[in-house]
């Protein structure tokens, strides 16, 4: 009996030791974190959405990626260079998928083609790629429909899958929208990345453990070997989880709770300017506005009216009162960090009500006019409050604004269907290149250009910068295009968003302007 | 009896049809799911292709008939949001909601009956008065505030209980339960308490007023005259007679608890069907919303059916009246 007891004790001690070793991951550390939304799917090409890409980016890797300063750095490719027909990538050797299969050029070709399928949500990012040539096992050429100077920028979220695994599990295409059955890759993943999903309960908990065979093991400063992710929908609950010590890191604490986090012993928050500009758009192309008392004319068609709005908006007051200081007032639809941004364009005009009123009178609207402002209420930081502030600011120059604040699934269709006169929109730039802004927002017929703004000179420049490979010449084109846009004021920028993360002391996750936590750089003491 | 149940079942089918029609007419106003399904780079043609594939531009009546046709075969389609099978999603989440509802029903019943009897018998004591005023707070404060308040008190300041989530779950294969571990119980206390508060107050006040009424009746006076102990009078004679309406109300309110659990589950990140529904609403995920509303309607219909059947067997007057 006595022996039995000792044996049982010995077993339980060794079990405890084992669990402890597993938890600590042989000297590694665990990080527990939360944010609002869970990844919608583990399929790497199915959903181009923040939390989904963040989760898949831990498991899957792309040819090139970005470091916390958003510089392009090698990931599965070690080097790349433009060729006659496109871009040539040299692949990293000795990389294996979590299932044990070796990474070869065939997998890259397969994945690029998969991301180009009609059911892929990433295909618009790589429309310029017309084919993939496998040169040898570790060299691959992406053929483009003309020179594309920014192809590497567009590949940072195009994740590479194992072609054998995908074929075996019948997921050579991302799932159809009208499919009747879910596919294997929605809940299963097999990437080359630094972490492997060991437990996944959607909307509850996802546990990732370090991939011992990862090519980058030891090359990065991070020491996190286990990641526990718990999405928490409600903002107050999310903050409570940090305050109670249940999580180490909150990606998206509400701005009004930051002071509280900062004032709590052992917690802190960090901020960084985000690559996302918040601005008003005007329908300047319509003959007549839908929601205005002015008939037979469109006040927004006159650039003086748009400039008057810009002069009347007190961006500093919005920053101070609405945003609790957490925004960077701005004057252009590009945030610092985007190629083409410059300080001069981004300096907003000082508030000048008299000058604004004079411009309104010159344009023939000295008595003002009425219009409806369409605004989302659950998409950007304090979006509805920004619009409310603008309503009272515009009243000072005689513009009688009715606010229509709606959830995003009702707001954005108005912009896409061109059913709005005056609206709030935010724009992030994943490629960090101004072409992305011009082509969607300012080019004639751009898919998010609901303003009717159209300038042949700008269109020509945007087309030219698409294929110009001479970098200085291309940068000059971008500058020229911004000069045109800034003079025409098709949009009036309010500010650039500021990101805030809440962390426990002793936990360092390098902040990045794209709001993506990069755990390979994270250090837990 | 058989014809009674059959009649009830037919009425239930009508109720379900009405609920589905009503909810479908509301889906017109939830907005465009396609915008949430694709990234901002998607072209207008891509969006249109998805809309065509899902039949979103069809008249709402056509969409409704298509939905009904599939639903009758048990096919609720795939979620727009997660692309998973909707029936599976609801079934996976159901144990969490049902356990939460069960625990809060028990809390409401125990606290409600005990406090109701006490305040009914000792109506002038200071404890009765304070119970009644606290219970007023219970009905008048929104669930959201109560939930956040409890989180800050028990998780942030006292650090006794976890603030949110459903930890300590044991997977039995067909059912994932919180009831088998200490962590599971610790996680369920706060949300169950929050959810039960309104029901507790209601039961408390119902029991109290019933007690007050029963205590005035002749048979209680006679019992007292016979020299029975207070204990026997209060619990054997009085309480038993107050319980009939209480049981009915609780039965009917199980459905209400499931519906109320939407807010509680959101505050506590409780991974049940209510949280699923809220996320579906934000995404305009019509298949999940439709299936959830059908499911809640089904719950109400079943509970009502059971209560009706119980009524018939308890109260012969209904049986006589109906035939």
CATH topology of domain B86-162+189-282: MetI-like fold (1.10.3720)
Chain B nearest CA to A332, separation (Å): 19
Q: Give the pLDDT score at B164.
A: 93
Cβ-defined contact of B31 to A186 (cutoff 8 Å): no
Instruction: Give the ipTM.
Output: 0.86
Mean of per-residue pLDDT scores for chain B? 87
Q: Give the pLDDT score at B321.
A: 55
Cβ-defined contact of A48 to B39 (cutoff 8 Å): yes
Q: What is the pLDDT of residues B24-38, one digit of tens each?
A: 888 877 888 888 888
Other residues' Cβ atoms within 10 Å of the Cβ of residue B8: 15
Chain B nearest CA to A501, separation (Å): 19
Q: Give the pLDDT score at B204.
A: 92
Q: Give the pLDDT score at B316.
A: 62
- Binned at pLDDT 50, 70 and 90, residue B258 comes out as confident
DSSP string covering A52-120: HHHHHHHH--BSEEE-TT--EEESSEEEEEE-SSEEEEEEPTT-B-TTSPBP-HHHHHHHHHHHTSTT-
Q: From CA A121, how far away is CA B168, in angstroms rounded?
A: 36
Chain A residue with Cα closest to B155: A244
Chain-centroid distance, C-alpha A336: 15
Beta strands in A310-368 (DSSP E): 327-329
Q: What is the pLDDT of residues B182-228, one digit of tens each?
A: 999 999 999 999 999 988 998 899 999 888 888 888 988 888 898 88
Minimal Cβ distance to A240: which of B36, B40, B155 = B155
Q: Give the pLDDT score at A12.
A: 40
Question: What pTM does this model have?
Answer: 0.87
Cβ-defined contact of A204 to B165 (cutoff 8 Å): yes
Q: From CA A208, how far away is CA A224, in angstroms rounded?
A: 10
> In chain B, which among 267-286 make CB contacts under 8 A with chain A?
267-269, 271, 275-276, 278-279, 282-284
Chain A residues lying within 8 Å of B37, measured CB to CB: 47, 121, 177
Chain B residue with Cα closest to A418: B44
Instruction: Count how many Cα atoms sit within 13 Å of the Cα of residue A346 in the half-sphere of its side chain.
Output: 18
> Do A485 and A252 touch, CB atoms closer than 8 A?
no
Share of chain B above pLDDT 90, in %: 35
A interface test, pick of B28, B31, B80 with most A CB neighbours within 10 Å: B31
Left if phi > 0, otherwise alpha if psi is -120 to 50, otherwise beta: which for B227? left
Strand A29-34 with A267-282, pairing: unpaired
Domain with CATH 1.10.3720.10 in chain B: 86-162+189-282
Q: What is the pLDDT of residues B48-60, one digit of tens each?
A: 888 888 888 888 8
Q: Give the pLDDT score at A24.
A: 41
Q: Give the pLDDT score at A455.
A: 96
Q: Give the pLDDT score at A13.
A: 37
Chain B residue with Cα closest to A126: B41
Chain A residues lying within 8 Å of B279, measured CB to CB: 203, 233
Beta strands in A139-293 (DSSP E): 139-144, 195-201, 205-210, 224-229, 249-250, 267-282
Size of interface A-B (CB pairs under 8 A): 144
Cβ-defined contact of A407 to B75 (cutoff 8 Å): no
Q: What is the pLDDT of residues B81-98, one digit of tens each?
A: 888 899 999 999 999 999
Give the relative orientation of helices B182-215 and B240-268 as an angle to the nearest 10 degrees: 140
CA distances for A302 relative to A321, A332, A403, A490, B4, angstroms: 31, 19, 22, 10, 73
Among the listed residues A268, A229, A281, the one whose alpha carbon sits nearest the alpha carbon of residue A453: A281
Q: Is A478 helix (H, G, I), strand (E, B) or coil?
A: helix
Cβ-defined contact of B81 to A40 (cutoff 8 Å): yes
Among the listed residues B177, B202, B185, the one whose alpha carbon sits nearest the alpha carbon of residue B108: B202
Among the listed residues B320, B177, B307, the one whose alpha carbon sits nearest the alpha carbon of residue B251: B307
Q: Give, for all 525 residues of chain A, the pLDDT tens digit.
A: 344 444 443 334 333 333 333 444 446 899 999 999 899 899 999 988 888 999 999 999 999 999 999 999 999 999 999 999 999 999 999 999 999 999 999 999 999 999 999 889 898 889 999 999 999 999 999 999 989 999 999 999 999 999 999 999 999 999 887 777 789 999 999 999 999 999 998 889 999 999 999 999 999 999 999 999 999 999 999 999 999 999 999 999 998 899 999 999 999 999 999 999 999 999 999 999 999 999 999 999 999 999 999 999 999 999 999 998 999 999 999 999 999 999 999 999 999 999 999 999 999 999 999 999 999 998 899 999 999 999 999 999 999 999 999 988 889 989 988 999 999 999 999 899 999 999 999 999 898 999 999 999 999 999 999 889 899 999 999 999 999 999 999 999 999 999 999 999 999 999 999 899 999 999 999
Chain B residue with Cα closest to A440: B41
- Show the domains of chain A with their CATH numbers: 3-266+505-524 (3.40.190.10), 273-499 (3.10.105.10)
Q: Give the pLDDT score at A179.
A: 75
Q: Give the pLDDT score at A14.
A: 38
Cβ-defined contact of A182 to B81 (cutoff 8 Å): no
Minimal Cβ distance to A203: which of B32, B152, B275 = B275
Among the listed residues A304, A334, A275, the one whose alpha carbon sits nearest the alpha carbon of residue A479: A334
Among the listed residues A493, A494, A511, A492, the one whose alpha carbon sits nearest the alpha carbon of residue A322: A494
Cβ-defined contact of B31 to A406 (cutoff 8 Å): yes
Minimal Cβ distance to A240: which of B30, B31, B152 = B152
Q: Give the pLDDT score at A178.
A: 72
B270-286: average pLDDT: 91
Minimal Cβ distance to A240: which of B84, B163, B279 = B163
Cβ-defined contact of A186 to B82 (cutoff 8 Å): yes
Cβ-defined contact of B42 to A407 (cutoff 8 Å): no
Strand A507-508 with A267-282, pairing: unpaired
């Amino acid at each position: 009996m006595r022996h039995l007891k000792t044996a049982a004790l010995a077993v339980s001690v060794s079990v405890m030791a084992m669990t402890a070793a597993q938890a600590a991951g042989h000297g590694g550390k665990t990080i527990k974190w939360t944010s609002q939304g869970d990844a919608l799917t583990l399929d790497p090409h199915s959903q181009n959405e923040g939390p989904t890409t963040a989760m898949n980016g831990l498991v899957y890797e792309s040819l090139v990626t970005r470091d916390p300063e958003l510089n392009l750095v090698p990931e599965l490719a070690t080097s790349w260079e433009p060729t006659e027909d496109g871009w040539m990538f040299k692949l990293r050797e000795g990389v294996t998928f979590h299932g044990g299969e070796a990474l070869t050029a065939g997998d890259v070709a397969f994945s690029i083609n998969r991301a180009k399928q009609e059911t892929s949500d990433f295909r618009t990012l790589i429309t310029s790629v017309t084919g993939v040539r496998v040169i040898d096992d570790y060299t691959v050429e992406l053929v483009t429909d003309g020179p594309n100077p920014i192809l590497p920028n567009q590949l940072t979220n195009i994740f590479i899958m194992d072609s054998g695994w995908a074929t075996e599990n019948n997921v050579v295409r991302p799932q159809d929208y009208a499919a009747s059955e879910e596919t294997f890759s929605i809940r299963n993943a097999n990437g080359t990345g630094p972490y492997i999903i060991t437990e996944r309960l959607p909307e509850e908990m996802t546990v990732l453990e370090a991939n011992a065979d990862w090519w980058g093991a030891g090359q990065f400063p991070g020491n996190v070997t286990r990641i526990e992710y718990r999405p928490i929908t409600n903002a107050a609950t999310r903050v409570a989880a940090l305050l109670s010590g249940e999580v180490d890191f909150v990606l998206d604490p509400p701005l009004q709770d930051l002071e509280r986090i900062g004032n709590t012993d052992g917690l802190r928050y960090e901020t960084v300017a985000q690559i996302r500009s918040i601005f008003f758009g005007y329908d300047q192309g319509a003959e007549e506005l839908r929601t205005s008392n002015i008939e037979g004319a469109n006040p927004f068609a006159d650039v003086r009216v748009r400039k008057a709005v810009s002069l009347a908006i007190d961006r500093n007051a919005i920053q101070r009162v609405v945003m609790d200081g957490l925004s960077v007032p701005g004057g252009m639809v590009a945030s610092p960090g985007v190629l083409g941004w410059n300080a001069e364009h981004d300096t907003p005009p000082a508030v000048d009500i008299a000058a604004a009123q004079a411009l309104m009178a010159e344009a023939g609207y000295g008595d003002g006019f009425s219009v409806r402002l369409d605004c989302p209420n659950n998409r950007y930081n304090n979006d509805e409050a920004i619009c409310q502030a603008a309503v009272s600011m515009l009243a000072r120059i005689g513009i009688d604004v009715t606010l229509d604040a709606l959830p995003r699934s009702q707001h954005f269709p108005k912009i896409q269907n061109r059913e709005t006169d005056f609206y709030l929109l935010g724009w992030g730039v994943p490629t960090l290149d101004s072409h992305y802004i011009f082509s969607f927002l300012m080019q004639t017929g751009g898919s998010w250009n609901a303003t009717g703004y159209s300038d042949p000179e700008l269109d020509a420049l945007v087309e030219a910068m698409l294929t110009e490979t001479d970098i200085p010449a291309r940068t000059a084109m971008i500058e020229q295009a911004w000069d045109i846009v800034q003079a025409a004021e098709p949009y009036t920028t309010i500010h650039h968003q500021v990101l805030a993360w809440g962390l426990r002391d002793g936990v360092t996750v390098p902040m990045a302007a794209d709001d993506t936590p990069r755990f390979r750089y994270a250090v837990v003491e | 009896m058989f014809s009674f149940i059959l009649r009830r079942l037919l009425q239930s089918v009508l109720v379900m049809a009405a609920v589905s029609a009503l909810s479908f007419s509301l889906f017109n106003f939830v907005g465009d799911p396609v915008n949430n399904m694709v990234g901002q780079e998607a072209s207008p043609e891509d969006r249109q292709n998805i809309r065509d594939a899902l039949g979103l531009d069809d008249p709402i009546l056509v969409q409704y008939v298509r939905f009904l046709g599939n639903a009758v075969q048990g096919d609720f389609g795939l979620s727009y949001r997660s692309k998973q099978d909707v029936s599976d999603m609801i079934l996976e989440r159901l144990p969490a909601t049902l356990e939460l509802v069960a625990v809060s029903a028990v809390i409401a019943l125990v606290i409600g009956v005990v406090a109701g009897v006490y305040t009914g018998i000792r109506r002038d004591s200071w404890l009765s008065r304070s119970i009644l005023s606290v219970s007023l707070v219970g009905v008048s404060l929104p669930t959201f505030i109560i939930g956040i308040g409890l989180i800050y008190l028990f998780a942030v300041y006292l650090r006794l209980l976890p603030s949110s989530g459903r930890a300590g779950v044991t997977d039995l294969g067909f059912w994932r339960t919180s009831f088998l571990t200490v962590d599971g119980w610790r996680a369920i206390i706060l949300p169950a308490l929050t959810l039960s508060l309104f029901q507790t107050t209601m039961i408390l006040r119902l029991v109290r007023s019933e007690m007050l009424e029963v205590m005035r009746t002749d048979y209680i006076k006679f019992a007292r005259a016979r020299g029975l102990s207070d204990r026997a009078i209060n619990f054997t004679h009085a309480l038993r007679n107050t319980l009939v309406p209480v049981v009915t109300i609780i039965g009917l309110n199980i459905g209400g608890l499931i519906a109320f659990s939407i807010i509680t589950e959101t505050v506590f990140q409780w991974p049940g069907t209510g949280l699923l529904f809220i996320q579906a609403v934000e995404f305009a995920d019509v298949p999940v919303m439709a299936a959830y509303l059908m499911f809640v309607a089904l719950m109400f219909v079943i509970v009502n059916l059971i209560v009706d059947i119980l009524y018939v067997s308890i109260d012969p007057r209904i049986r006589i009246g109906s035939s």
